[in-house]
Amino acid sequence: MLQISINGKLFEPYRIFCIGKNYDEHVKELGGKAPEEPVVFMKSVASIVAPGANLFVPQHGNLLHHEVEVVLLIGQEGRDILEADALSHIAGITLGLDLTLRDVQDRLKKSGLPWELSKSFDQSAPLGIFKAYDPDSIDLENLSFWCSVNGDLRQQGNTRNMIFPVKSLIYKLSRWWTLKPGDIIFTGTPAGVGLLKAGDQVDIESAETGKYSWDFSP
């Protein structure tokens, strides 16, 4: 079982909550409209892939897209968490990729069907190494991050552009679920999502979390 270590404390991944449509420019590039409340879907913890592992391109779709995101690790249980208290429930922070089969997702949306085939397939959640979250050194309301493919910059985001900031996301999620230690939250992707293919190398990076890379097997 995968374990996450933060300052000597071990966490087992419990659930992966993912937030869709949380950056205006990404919403526009997909041709939608900004949501009035967070769009939430989930991935299996079995879809997590550590940095440096080789990835494969799934065979049940044709348009595999990268979506770089700031990712949070919950370290303290909470229900109906106030925004003022939200940051105290975060144990760690990193970056991750919400890999998406866009053509499959579009087909499922049009049919009114769930998204799992497009979002929660094997290896769909490449995840960096969690760093301990320190609110005095990491500003979750102004955190810049990037995604490059084969050395070319594809996505550049900053959490200040979130439609639902981190505090709001934790407040909202904790109204719908009791958040537990080990819960992981993918907080949404900025504009610039694009195609991945066999042979590509993906790098994701921020000053606060470091740089992580994956290769797609040819």
The CATH number of the domain covering residues in 4-216:
3.90.850.10
Task: Give me 206's structure tokens.
Answer: 């921020």
Structure tokens belonging to residue 148: 């490059």
Main-chain dihedrals φ then ψ at residue 174, nearest 5 degrees:
-75, -10
Task: Quote the CA–CA distance of 49 and 17 in Å, as a whole number.
Answer: 16
> Do 48 and 127 contact (CB within 8 A), yes or no?
yes
- Walk along the chain (218 residues) and give the pLDDT tens digit of each residue: 588 999 999 999 999 999 999 999 998 988 888 899 999 999 999 999 999 999 999 999 999 999 999 999 999 999 999 999 999 999 999 999 999 999 999 999 999 999 999 999 999 999 999 999 999 999 999 999 999 999 999 999 999 999 999 999 999 999 999 999 999 999 999 999 999 999 999 999 999 999 999 999 97
pLDDT of res. 143: 98
Tell the burial category of 191 from Cβ atoms under 10 Å away from its Cβ (0-12, 13-18, 19+).
middle
Output the pLDDT for position 189: 98
Which residues of 75-173 form beta strands (DSSP E)? 90-97, 100-101, 125-126, 131-132, 144-149, 152-158
Residue with tokens 């594809």: 154
CB distance 85 to 77 below 8 Å: no
How many angstroms separate the CA atoms of 12 and 3, rounded?
5
> How far apart are the C-alpha atoms of 63 and 160, rounded to whole Å?
29
Q: Is 205 helix (H, G, I), strand (E, B) or coil?
A: strand
Domain limits, the chain: 4-216
Q: Which distant-in-sequence residues (6+ apart) come within 8 Å of 181 by Cβ?
A: 11, 14, 74, 75, 76, 77, 91
Full-model pTM:
0.96
Residue 46 · residue 184 · CB < 8 Å = no
